[in-house]
Amino acid sequence: MRRKRNNRRGRSSAISAYAAQNFALRNDWFGPGKKEEGTLGVQLDLAKQNVLRKVGNTDFLQAIALVQTYRRNLAARKLGTPEDQLPAVSCTRLSVLNIPLADYKSYRAEVRDAFIAAGKFVREQNIFRARDLPYQSQLVPLAAIIATLGKKWEDHGNKAKLSQWFWCGVLGELYGGAIETRFARDLVDVVNWITNKGPEPKTILDSSFNPTRLNTLRSRGSAAYKGIYALLMREGGKDFRTSSPITAQVFEDEHIDIHHIFPQKWCKDAKIDPKIFDTIINKTAISARTNRMIGGKAPSLYLKEIEKRAGISRNELNSTLETHLIDPSLLREDEFVKFIDARRTELLELIASATGKAMGAAVDEPEPIESDVEEEGETDDSLEEAA
């Protein structure tokens, strides 16, 4: 569902407060028409990465608030301040309004660079476009964590922990509601977990995936749907036609997107319920050219066509299909029901591996109402209007 925010008045107040001190917050975000001393043009830097193009000014200010309040909290701890008197780590509207201009200037470049690093991390998870981000909102704590860890976030063991936290948030579907409290807790918990070998973050403990959820994931509006799509590529899914791993370059060059494995037309002709054939279980990352080869044909037919037109052997194509957690023999025999059952099992193992959590028992739940409207980051209209 679309994330709603009502922070416009708060940002306007921040703009006014900084303007009174002769600092143009709007220019610092959008970038001035000409080079203006002291402004960064943060949006211009972030927009260089497709995956960061929906980061809004509110996201940026919230990440700064997290870093600023975390360091205030840390400094107070070092002075021996009693636990109940420590300043809170926070990114609420009030926390954003209370960022002193000196602190904003001190942290803005660091947090901008942390967002850029967060974009790198997300791309390493095989999420290459903003529209494919499971949660735009999760970039806020991710950037704050990276800013706090510094270069340590890139260390193999630390990145593995960061990855587990990220996928627990995505597949546990934990960033869809009121989330500022979780942002603050994530920063404290993840940094403590990584730097001090503290307990697992609450986001990891809270995360769970009901196996029956796979039966209801049908649209891009779902974070888990987008997450599984990315995981299939991250874990080695290759293009059917070229057998090339789906890197960022292949993703762009081959126009990779998520498509049906058993085509919609074939499924409809076979009288299969769309509630079954439209789920993520029957979808994977496929190039535009390969998808045109598939058309509406039975898998047994389109696989032969791919072999013929791409000059690929049966065994080579079978190996490629397996990288998508597809049983080639079931696909070649047009065994839809057996294919669905087998792939469901494989996907659940994939989810368990990404989250580091054993899969619980399936529990029947009411089917969620999902919107096809993608979650969006804050638009920049607020700064336009407030300027």
3-class SS letters over the chain: CCCCCCCHHHHHHHHHHHHCCCCCHHHHHHCCCCCCCCCCCHHHHHCCCHHHCCCCHHHHHHHHHHHHHHHHHHHHHHCCCCHHHCCCCCCCHHHHHCCCHHHHHHHHHHHHHHHHHHHHHHHHCCCCCHHHCCCHHHHHHHHHHHHHHHHHHHCHHHHHHHHHHHHHHHHCCCCCCCCHHHHHHHHHHHHHHHHCCCCCCHHHHHCCCCHHHHHHCCCCCCHHHHHHHHHHHHCCCECCCCCCECCHHHHHHCCCEEEECCCHHHHHHCCCCHHHHCCHHHEEEECHHHHHHHCCCCHHHHHHHHHHHHCCCHHHHHHHHHCCCCCHHHHHCCCHHHHHHHHHHHHHHHHHHHHCCCCCCCCCCCCCCCCCCCCCCCCCHHHHHHC
- Residue 3 placed within a domain: no
CA atoms of 313 and 223, how far apart (whole Å): 36
- Residues 237 and 165 both lie in one domain: no
| Whether 199 and 223 share a structural domain | no
Among the candidates 155, 185, 207, a domain finishes at 207
Residues 244 and 283 in one domain: yes
201 and 217 together in one domain: no
- Residue 22's pLDDT is 72
Residue 363 lies in a domain: no
Residue 383 CA to residue 60 CA, distance in Å, equals: 13
Is 364 inside a domain boundary?
no
The pTM (predicted TM-score) of the whole model is 0.89
Residues 137 and 218 in one domain: no
Predicted local distance difference test score (pLDDT) of residue 362: 67
In a domain, 371, yes or no: no
Residue 178 sits in the same domain as residue 255: no
Closest by Cα among 266, 330, 327 to 294: 266
Q: Are residues 138 and 219 in the same domain?
A: no
Amino acid present at 53: R
Residue 197 and residue 215 in one domain? no
Q: Is residue 99 part of a domain?
A: yes
The answer on 325 and 246 residing in a single domain is yes
The C-alpha torsion from 141 through 147 and 151 to 154, rounded to 10°, is 10
Which amino acid would we find at residue 29? W
In a domain, 118, yes or no: yes
The contacts of residue 94 (CB under 8 Å, 6+ apart) are: 10
Domain end marker among 190, 207, 224: 207
State which of 207, 239, 273 marks the end of a domain: 207
Q: What is the pLDDT of residue 25?
A: 81
Domain that holds residue 203: 9-207
Residues 140 and 249 in one domain: no
Low-confidence ranges of the chain (pLDDT < 70): 1-17, 19-20, 32-38, 360-387
Residues 68 and 23 in one domain: yes
Asked whether residue 375 is assigned to any structural domain, the reply reads no
pLDDT score recorded for residue 9: 46
- Same domain for 42 and 176: yes
* Domain assignment of residue 144, yes or no: yes
Cα distance between residue 346 and residue 344, in whole Å: 5
Query: What is the predicted pLDDT for the residue at 90?
Result: 96
Q: How many domains does the chain have?
A: 2
